[in-house]
Structure 1
Amino acid sequence: MKMQPDYSKSTADHVESLENQCVVTQKQGQLSTLDSVVEPALERRVIRKIDMMVIPFICVTYLITYIDKAMLGYSAVFGLKEGLNLHGAEYSWLGSMFYFGYLAFEYPTSFMMQKVPVSKWLSLNLFFWGGMTMALAGCSGFNSFLALRFLIGALESCSTPAYLLITAKWYKIEEQPIRIGWWSTFLGVANSFGGLLAFGVGQIKGLLQSWQYQFIVIGAISCVWSIFMYFMLAENPSVAPWLNDEEKEVAVRRLGRRHQGANHAGIKKYQIIEAITDPKTWLLFLCGVATQVVNGAASNFGSLIIEGFGYSNLVTTLFQIPYGMVIIVFNVSAMYIQRWLPGQKRCLVAIIYVCPALAGAVGIHTIPREHKAALLVCYWLTSTYTASFAMIMSLITANTGGSTKRTVVSALFFVSYCVGNIVGPFSFKENEAPTYTSGIVAMLVAYCVEIFLVLSFAAYAGMLNRKKEQALDSQGIALEDANVQTSSAEANFDQTDREDIFFRYSF
């Protein structure tokens, strides 16, 4: 017999574990699922509050994180190479070493976030990597700078996985792409604001060199923001001071059975095996490599590419502002287009938005150097790939069920993120400056590979959906039965996407 929640009690009394997202009630020793149907007007009010009090923290942190990574490229045009006496491939090693640290700590930090509050873990890591970023200004040679870059990468390895986990905790599957789009748009804001910040800091005249002030300023910003976020970002509805008891209840109930148990602390071996043997995992892995080969190139060599067109160092930093504006426009348009299209055609939108980037790379490779304006426009076009990366990230949360499986898939995806960012800088060879032919060709290949992989993912996900529909038909079950309430003895709140017969893949 299904028990109804006792609304006379406080939220803390009848919601057993909002932190674990296990939407169940407890009464006389029995458990039952909560009705996921809520009043539309009340739900809209709760969503607006969540949008205002959760997403801005991710947006600002994402902005700071990207500027922190891109600061190496900005510093390169303000004398970093000369200040550290870099030769040969040493600058490329500084760009890649960050991702070796990221790679080494990706699994530990992902599993740690199953054990501790994600918001607190992210805040603490941000504080320490901000401190180490400031310490970069004190380095006088290649070795010390390289070691700190590794440690900063290790601390920052929690960042994007944390953003995805926080988004998945608060939003339905169909709501996640547009929220991911919102905070990924701040990649564009970071490029624009980072260019302005680098330009402004470049005007400082003091005892230190210009490139040293760059790291001191962004490191200090990171530390201050981390302290504010530690105390202000709510981990889950049960501790959100800006939600009343009724709103806390709705914030969990609205997510429905798919989100129940979305963050179980236990690690399940069979889900690890399923994640590793799932073809979707490796299609996403390879997509991550392809997109991040481009990102590794752009974040570390973007300013040098523009400088190679014949512009001064200060003008080069200002020309990163339009690059960021293109990212904002394309990311915002992509997330709304996929929302309006029937069935949210995420893979189709991802492919469409890779095409201008592909055209831009072709232009940089083929247009003569004397056509500076045309080359600059082509460089700006290469930024449109970021919209496809936002779509690909949304595919992880939308197509992976099971807490442990989701953690493993996310961790593997961010291993690919590291691999791509490690490979990208090494495709740009010092002896090919300022044209960097090998690097531009590597970007071209990466774009083409990404298009093929996204098409493959869509085809495979469609095939899986058809198989599940056939299985339901053979048992005489309708898809609408997914919303039927079941007794606690039958409920399984941590099913993988393969186990859940009602799970449908989004592509």
Structure 2
Amino acid sequence: MDTASSEKTVDAGSGFPSLKIANASSASLDKAIVYLEEHAASQSDTTAVDHVLLVRKIDRHIVPIALAAYTLQFLDKLDLNYAAVMGLNVDLKLVGNDFNNAASWMYIANLIAEFPTGYIVQKVRPGKWLGCNVILWGVVTACTAAVTNYNGLVATRVMIGILEAATAPCLMLITGMWYTKSEAILRFAIWYCGLGIAQMLGSLISWGFQQVTHEALSGWRIMFLVLGCVTAAAGVWALISMPDSPMEVSWLTEAEKRVAIQRVAVNQTGIKNTHFKWRHLRELVLDPQIWLLTSLIIVTSLTSGVISFYSTTLIRNFGFSPARSALLNMPSGAVSLLSCLATAYLGHKYDNRALCMTVFCLLAAMGSGLMSFLPSSQRAGLLAGVYLVNMETVTLFLVFCLTTANVAGQTKRVAANALISGAFSVGNIIGPQLFKPKDAPQYIPAKIILLVTEIVTAMFAAALRIYYGWQNSKRDAAEKKERERGYMKEVANIEWLNLTDRENKTFRYKY
């Protein structure tokens, strides 16, 4: 439904859509505004709600589960990295490019699965869908302990790639439902800290299981078994406790639900609408911001692939033992975690996420430069390079944040979330293939490619900042001109009419 027809669904006297009229085009109404009218409450009910305490209550029910899910997702990616130095390659008789191919197959499956995921997430309850997928990928991770050859490893990685496809789109959608744009950056940062936590935990877990000797099971098999069980347990927690939307939870009073909905109206991105609109998809394909965001994710995820699959191998190739290599990879996690928190603080304080991306990508490029050009005798400098490269990981959570804040219209929004997640998979498919066996142990060509991509990522981030600023300035000028001419027409409750960011001329982009 276009903007002009949207005006017919609004009862200007009440300030809410008239359901009697809106039923003719109910697909255009967000479920939140329908809920508000059907559960009308007195003003005193909502004024008694403490907003600070309400946000804390929301945090308690969402942030820990999101952090656990994202930590386990990255831990599940990193476990293959650690297993490689624990004897997996030898036990499974992997040769040539087998390990790289197994790593890439997971992301190929993830990329393919993202397309139906975008549709499914709009239709189902995202919290329940997330929980089911986490349980199943935990089961498959545990089953990895039983694989005996390359084909079995590929089969389990493909299944994990399919099941993990739901994680980022669900978390992005849920975060956008509950938090304002200014609040969201900190929540994105907290659950994205799961990457750094996974790196540190993974290093300790790998070191610990390398100390385990068992006649029947090698250390890496026990590691997969334990991590799979922990992941499945976390999935049960998510299935039971992760909220699907403010309208459907039992732990908020009616007044608190109304306030929770009204708080996020300022986002103008809506909360829930299950009607699939092809027009939103057409707009998605033609939207320059989507392709800037997608390109940015593809180039930055090349570095993420290195962090996920080759950081421990690189450290081992500096001349350290497998066990010590695992421990020396722990600071990588600390750098990722601190970078996320620092970026969230700076991005919120100065309201400039794209600039933060640019700066941190350039710092990561310094790390790639150190890895590429320092002599092998300078092990401290080489380690510093590995650690600095982890600064680029903030790009992904900032793109999640910008996508959630700047893409409106429910179909366009969930499709954009899936596309961004798919773009991350593209980079991770390519990333492991850069490390060719013939380039071992230094892998200089791959390191130089990373240096170039990190510089390109910084350039894309700067271009995104310019684009958003230009769009906002153009809309401000158009609105000013319409007001001066007296043509400006207010549309009541425009934020709940399932309009895209391009259809809604009152929408302004965050950058």
**TM-score of the pair, normalised by structure 1:** 0.91
Look up the match of 2:142.
134
| 1:250 and 2:256 correspond | no
Shift of 1:240: 2.8
Look up the match of 2:367.
360
| 1:486 and 2:485 correspond | no
Look up the match of 1:97.
105
Look up the match of 2:80.
72
Query: Which amino acid in structure 1 is aligned with residue 186 of structure 2?
Result: I
Gapped regions of structure 1 (runs ≥ 5): 6-16
Moved more, 243-252 or 318-327: 243-252
Matched residue of 1:475: which SS?
helix
Shift of 1:411: 1.9
Shift of 1:345: 0.7
Whole-Å separation in 2 of the counterparts to 1:337 and 1:274: 32
Whole-Å separation in 1 of the counterparts to 2:100 and 2:315: 17
Look up the match of 1:14.
none
Please give the residue correspondences for 1:3-402 in structure 2 after superposition, counting only pairs within 5 Å: 3=14, 20-22=31-33, 25-26=36-37, 39=47, 42-206=50-214, 207-256=216-265, 258-259=267-268, 261-341=270-350, 344-402=351-409
Shift of 1:259: 4.5
Query: Which amino acid in structure 2 is aligned with residue 142 of structure 1?
Result: Y
Count of aligned positions: 486
Look up the match of 1:502.
506
Whole-Å separation in 2 of the counterparts to 1:372 and 1:318: 15
Which structure has the highest helix share of the two? 2
Do the aligned partners of 2:29 and 2:273 also contact (CA within 8 Å) in 1?
no
Shift of 1:92: 0.3
**TM-score of the pair, normalised by structure 2:** 0.90
Look up the match of 1:12.
none
Percent of counterpart pairs with the same letter?
29
Whole-Å separation in 2 of the counterparts to 1:381 and 1:25: 48
TM-superposition CA deviations, 1:374-408 (whole Å, max 9, x none): 21122111101112222122111111111111122
Do the aligned partners of residues 491 and 49 (structure 1) sit closer, same or farther apart at CA in structure 2, a change above 3 Å counting?
closer
Shift of 1:20: 3.7
Do the aligned partners of 2:301 and 2:431 also contact (CA within 8 Å) in 1?
yes
Q: Return structure 1 stretches of 4+ with deviation > 3 angstroms.
A: 1-5, 17-27, 31-35, 37-41, 257-262
Matched residue of 2:257: which SS?
helix
Please give the residue correspondences for 1:405-424 in structure 2 after superposition, counting only pairs within 5 Å: 405-424=412-431
TM-superposition CA deviations, 1:420-464 (whole Å, max 9, x none): 000000001112112111221121111011011111111111111
Do the aligned partners of residues 175 and 505 (structure 1) sit closer, same or farther apart at CA in structure 2, a change above 3 Å counting?
same
Shift of 1:311: 0.7
TM-superposition CA deviations, 1:49-93 (whole Å, max 9, x none): 111221111001110110011100000000011011111111100
TM-superposition CA deviations, 1:470-506 (whole Å, max 9, x none): 211121079xx99x7827xx88520111111110111
TM-superposition CA deviations, 1:342-364 (whole Å, max 9, x none): xx111111111112211111001
Whole-Å separation in 1 of the counterparts to 2:222 and 2:363: 35
Do the aligned partners of residues 375 and 212 (structure 1) sit closer, same or farther apart at CA in structure 2, a change above 3 Å counting?
same
Do the aligned partners of 2:267 and 2:405 also contact (CA within 8 Å) in 1?
no
Moved more, 146-155 or 74-83: 146-155
Matched residue of 1:105: which SS?
helix
TM-superposition CA deviations, 1:312-336 (whole Å, max 9, x none): 1111111121111111111101101
Do the aligned partners of residues 51 and 496 (structure 1) sit closer, same or farther apart at CA in structure 2, a change above 3 Å counting?
same
Matched residue of 1:160: which SS?
helix
| 1:467 and 2:462 correspond | no
Do the aligned partners of 2:347 and 2:353 also contact (CA within 8 Å) in 1?
yes
Do the aligned partners of residues 311 and 203 (structure 1) sit closer, same or farther apart at CA in structure 2, a change above 3 Å counting?
same
Do the aligned partners of 1:201 and 1:213 also contact (CA within 8 Å) in 2?
yes
Do the aligned partners of 1:21 and 1:260 also contact (CA within 8 Å) in 2?
no
Query: Which amino acid in structure 2 is aligned with residue 143 of structure 1?
Result: N
Look up the match of 2:25.
none
Whole-Å separation in 2 of the counterparts to 1:33 and 1:267: 31
Whole-Å separation in 2 of the counterparts to 1:300 and 1:279: 32
TM-superposition CA deviations, 1:232-260 (whole Å, max 9, x none): 22222234333222222211111126457
Do the aligned partners of residues 102 and 156 (structure 1) sit closer, same or farther apart at CA in structure 2, a change above 3 Å counting?
same
Do the aligned partners of 1:18 and 1:236 also contact (CA within 8 Å) in 2?
no
Shift of 1:43: 1.2
Do the aligned partners of 2:49 and 2:255 also contact (CA within 8 Å) in 1?
no
**Equivalent residue in structure 2 for 1:2, among 13, 16, 20:** 13
Query: Which amino acid in structure 2 is aligned with residue 506 of structure 1?
Result: K
